[in-house]
Amino acid sequence: MTAMCMIDQFIEYLRLFRDIPPADIDMITAAVEYRHVQQGTVLHQEGKIVRQIFFICKGVLRIVALNDKAVPITYFFLKENQFCTILNSFNNNVPAAEGIEAACEASVIVLTKNALLGLYNTIPYLQQLINRIMQQALLDKIQLRNAYFNEDATTRYRQFLMRQPDIALRVSLGDIASYLGITQQSLSRIRRNTRF
């Protein structure tokens, strides 16, 4: 995916919510960076302050943290046309308890905090626009994740396949198991026995 295709995708996504004049598009284009990453690439390491927001053009990112046994646990998956960051760390300059990794090969637009603050100064409506999109996305992620955890493991997996089939096809079995709160061995057994 070329850098120009990525910026076009990003601008078209923002335009779903409001009109953006050509001069503003030029400033946004000049402020962003582009990255193509492989599965497992760490975009943000837990314990550090988040200084970037990622817009996913292609692929899946995951929010991950180590549990008390130092085992990585997936909290959320994010896919195309979604922003990804750790908001509390980004907004309040505090170390994040979570990290961000590529769950599969991905292409992202990177907005550094400094670049974003500069855009907010020159394009005031952009801050409200991005904040509104990210707040709604956070609520949606939490609601989706919470929907799984009132069910047994088999039902959680079936719901995951129904609600997030595109992610199920692209990420590792281990990442899915940690997201659903079950062991990889249990998930393998559930997959063998699951019939729709």
Which residues of the chain are modeled with pLDDT < 70?
1, 195-196
Can you give the pLDDT at residue 12? 95
Task: Indicate the length of the chain as a whole number.
Answer: 196
This prediction's pTM: 0.92
For 126, other C-beta atoms within 10 Å of its C-beta total 19
pLDDT at residue 67 in the model: 87
- Model confidence over 32-46: pLDDT tens digits? 999 999 999 999 999
CA atoms of 109 and 116, how far apart (whole Å): 12
Q: What is the pLDDT of residue 196?
A: 57
Helix, strand, or coil here: 80? coil
C-alpha separations of 25 from 5, 9, 186 in Å = 14, 12, 49
Torsion of CA 166, 170, 172, 178, to 10 degrees: -30
At 39 the pLDDT is 96
Taking the CA of residue 178 as centre, how many other CA atoms within 13 Å lie in the half-sphere pointing to its CB?
Answer: 19
Residue-level pLDDT at 44: 97
**Going from the N-terminus, what domains does the chain have, and what CATH number goes with each?**
3-124 (2.60.120.10)
SS3 state at 97: coil
pLDDT at position 195, please? 65
Round to whole Å and give the CA distance between 76 and 60: 10
Number of H helices, E strands in the chain: 9, 8
What's the pLDDT at 78? 95
Q: Which helix (H) or strand (E) holds 77?
A: strand 72-78
Q: How far is CA 24 from each of CA 30, 79, 174, rounded to the nearest angstrom?
A: 10, 26, 42
Token reading at 116 = 């974003």
Helix axes 173-180, 184-193, angle to 10 degrees: 100
